[in-house]
Amino acid sequence: RRLKKKHELLESARRKGMPFAHWDGATVVSWLELWVGMPAWYVAACRANVKSGAIMSALSDTEIQREIGISNPLHRLKLRLAIQEMVSLTSPSAPTTSRTTLAYGDMNHEWIGNEWLPSLGLPQYRSYFMECLVDARMLDHLTKKDLRMHLKMVDSFHRTCLHYGIMCLKRLNYDRKDLERRREESQHEIKDVLVWTNDQ
């Protein structure tokens, strides 16, 4: 019942076109948990310290570390990018965009770790990507230092492989359904090399 209420809060905010700054604390906490996919201890810290979307969107990187206790720089990156995206998507002056699926968690860190990395032939990095909560929104913002230090991807060929995987997602506008549809269509016919996986 509690989970249903959280979904209803988010759907209500989306339906009303409410700017992120006007979201109340309960809606922000639901967003962190369901759409951003932050761990329970971060969500609990936000429940205690962040009472509205306006407060959340005004937090600096230092404040995110101090007030919410997020010490991992990639976890902070995840949150900052999610905030920027939701502020942009819910702004009254925001242009309509088709790239909304990332905002609703369609390509979260579980999908990246369990499905996307193995499809690139890089399943050995799954645990590092999962620990750092890397979702599709973050991929294009990862630096060489991030890859080497936090995600333990020191092999340059593996980084190149990752780079081309990201390019593919960008060309598909990060549309998971489109990616899955095109892969399905390529199963029994030699076509659409762009979406071939390591298994094909």
What pLDDT, on the 0 to 100 scale, is given for residue 78? 95
52 neighbors 28 (Cβ within 8 angstroms): yes
* Average pLDDT of the residues in 29-57: 92
Q: How many CA atoms lie within 13 A of 146 on its CB side?
A: 17
Rama region for 152: left / alpha / beta (φ>0; ψ in -120 to 50; rest): left
Question: Which DSSP state fits 42?
Answer: H
Nearest Cα to 36, choosing from 84, 4, 69?
Answer: 84
Mean pLDDT of the residues in the chain: 87
How many Å apart are CA 120 and CA 103, to the nearest integer? Answer: 23
Handedness of CA 28, 21, 9, 129 (dihedral sign): negative
For residue 39, the SS3 value is coil
pLDDT digits 0-9 by tens, 97-151: 544 567 777 889 999 999 999 989 999 999 999 999 999 999 999 999 999 999 9
The backbone region for 35, taken as left when phi is positive above 0, alpha when psi lies in -120 to 50, beta otherwise, is: alpha
The Cα–Cα gap between 191 and 170 comes to: 19
Interval 150-159 mean pLDDT: 95
Give pLDDT tens digits for 14-25: 888 889 999 999
pTM score of the predicted model: 0.86
The residues facing 24 across adjacent strands are 52
Give exposure, 27-65, as e/b (b: 16+ Cβ within 10 Å). Answer: bbbbbbbbbbbbeeebbebbeebbebbebbbebeeeebb
Residue with tokens 């593996």: 158
